[in-house]
């Protein structure tokens, strides 16, 4: 009978269990192979799992063509070039394949490796943001020897050409700060001429054509003219109460003017006022005050047939109408 939970295994017991499991599995796992079978059709057959160094090199120098009980690798110009790009040489590949092949290295594979290696690296590709060239290589040597050129990251490509990782503008500025007078050139080798930006006035739009003669009146214009005539008649024929002082304009004290205008705003009555505008021109107007506040009176002006606002200090006086126009 179970008397309770079993104690946790000790580290020694765990290590022994792992060793027993490894011993039981080892006969079931094939041993890694250190060889392949090279064939004349530029393939290599791995009859089983390969050791890590051999599998790593074949994974770079050849392409896997098929997998199964045996793995088939195929050598191509691209795969060999990939191995050379990874740092291998033709001699390294020949020696490695000869050491790990149970069959002689086929002649086509040897030719393939040598042919790709012969062409590999003849062309070099790198990154450069700008360049400087000069027919006098001594000047370029002077630039390279100057410690102030280090931020430009210059590299000599030819006796008369230096490449820089700095942009063209930065290279020009750096060389000028060193006391040289370089000139920028285009992709075609022509000297670039720079000048200050010129600003031109944009072209003017053609003026709108002006029609000959007065415009033909429409219904809106005719209606406005009719209202103006009626408003003028009303202002000219209205009868106002006599004022105390003689003259063309009514004259009343400021307090009386304010009180009369406020009363008219409350009752809706119309008033006859004298008004002097900012240019000093005096006029008589018939208004119906609507609101009085802040030193201004807002009223309907019968003379102008419009709602307008007048400063109280420009009103010379007011007089009530004996017959309120409507």
pLDDT tens sequence across 148-160: 989 999 989 889 9
The pLDDT assigned to 117 comes to: 93
Residue 223 pLDDT: 67
Give dist(CA 3, CA 268) in Å, integer: 111
Here the tokens at position 269 are 């009555």
Domain ranges, ordered by start, for the chain: 37-119, 130-177, 230-320
Give the per-residue pLDDT at 74: 94
The values of phi and psi at residue 82, to 5°, are -65, -40
Alpha helices (H) in the chain, listed in sequence order: 11-25, 52-61, 77-85, 90-100, 107-119, 137-145, 168-177, 219-237, 254-267
> Which of 239, 257, 241 lies closest to 296, judged by CA?
257
Residue 245 has a pLDDT of 47
State the CB neighbour count (10 A cutoff) for residue 189: 7
Contact 300, 288 (CB under 8 A): yes
Cα dihedral value 230, 235, 237, 240, nearest 10: 150
Backbone angles phi, psi at 206, to 5 degrees: -65, 135
Q: How much is the pLDDT for 278?
A: 84
Instruction: Classify strands 130-133 and 282-293 as parallel, antiparallel or unpaired.
Output: unpaired
Q: Which residues pair with 284 in a beta bridge?
A: 274
Both structure tokens of 212:
């000959």
Measured CA to CA, the distance from residue 289 to residue 215 in angstroms comes to 36
pLDDT at 113: 94
CA distance 320 to 116: 116
Say how many residues make up the chain. 326
Contact 78, 111 (CB under 8 A): no
Tell me the pLDDT of the chain (326 aa) as tens digits.
455 677 888 888 888 888 888 877 777 677 788 899 999 999 999 988 888 888 899 999 999 999 877 899 999 999 999 999 999 999 999 999 999 999 999 999 999 999 999 999 888 888 888 989 998 989 999 998 999 989 999 989 889 999 998 888 898 899 989 989 888 888 887 887 777 666 677 888 888 777 776 667 677 667 656 765 665 566 566 555 554 444 567 788 888 989 989 988 888 888 888 888 888 888 888 888 888 888 899 888 887 778 888 899 899 889 887 654 44
**Helices 90-100 & 107-119 angle (0-180, nearest 10):** 160
For domain 230-320, the CATH class is: mainly beta
What pTM was estimated for this model as a whole?
A: 0.45
Contact 143, 163 (CB under 8 A): no
Distance between CA atoms of 218 and 201, rounded to whole angstroms? 40
Q: Cα(first)–Cα(last) distance of the chain, in Å?
A: 121
């Amino acid at each position: 009978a179970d008397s309770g939970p079993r104690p946790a295994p000790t580290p020694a017991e765990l290590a022994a269990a792992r060793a027993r499991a490894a011993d039981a599995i080892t006969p079931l796992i094939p041993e890694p192979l250190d060889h392949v079978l090279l064939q004349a059709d530029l393939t290599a057959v791995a009859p089983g799992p390969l050791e890590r160094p051999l599998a790593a090199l074949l994974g770079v120098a050849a392409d896997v063509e098929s997998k199964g009980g045996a793995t088939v690798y195929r050598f191509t110009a691209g795969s060999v070039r990939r191995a050379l790009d990874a740092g291998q040489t033709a001699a390294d590949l020949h020696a490695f394949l000869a050491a790990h092949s149970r069959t002689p290295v086929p002649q086509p594979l040897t030719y393939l490796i040598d042919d790709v290696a012969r062409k590999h690296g003849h062309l070099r590709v790198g990154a450069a943001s700008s360049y400087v060239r000069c027919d006098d290589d001594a000047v370029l040597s002077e630039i390279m020897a100057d410690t102030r050129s280090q931020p430009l990251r210059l590299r000599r490509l030819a006796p008369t050409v230096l490449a820089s990782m700095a942009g063209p503008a930065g290279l020009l500025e750096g060389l000028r700060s060193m006391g040289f007078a370089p000139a920028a050139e285009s992709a075609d080798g022509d000297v670039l001429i720079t000048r200050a930006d010129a600003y031109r006035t944009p072209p003017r739009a053609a003026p709108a054509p002006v029609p000959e003669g007065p415009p033909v009146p429409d219904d809106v214009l005719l209606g406005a003219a009719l209202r103006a005539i009626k408003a003028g008649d009303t202002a000219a024929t209205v009868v106002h109460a006599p004022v105390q002082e003689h003259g063309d304009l009514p004259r009343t004290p400021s307090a009386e003017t304010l009180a009369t205008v406020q009363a008219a705003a409350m009752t809706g009555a119309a008033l006859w006022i004298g008004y002097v505008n900012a240019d000093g021109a005096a006029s008589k107007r018939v208004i119906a005050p609507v609101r009085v506040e802040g030193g201004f009176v807002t009223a309907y002006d019968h003379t102008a047939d419009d709602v307008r606002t007048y400063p109280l200090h420009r009103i010379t006086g007011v007089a009530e109408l004996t017959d309120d126009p409507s």
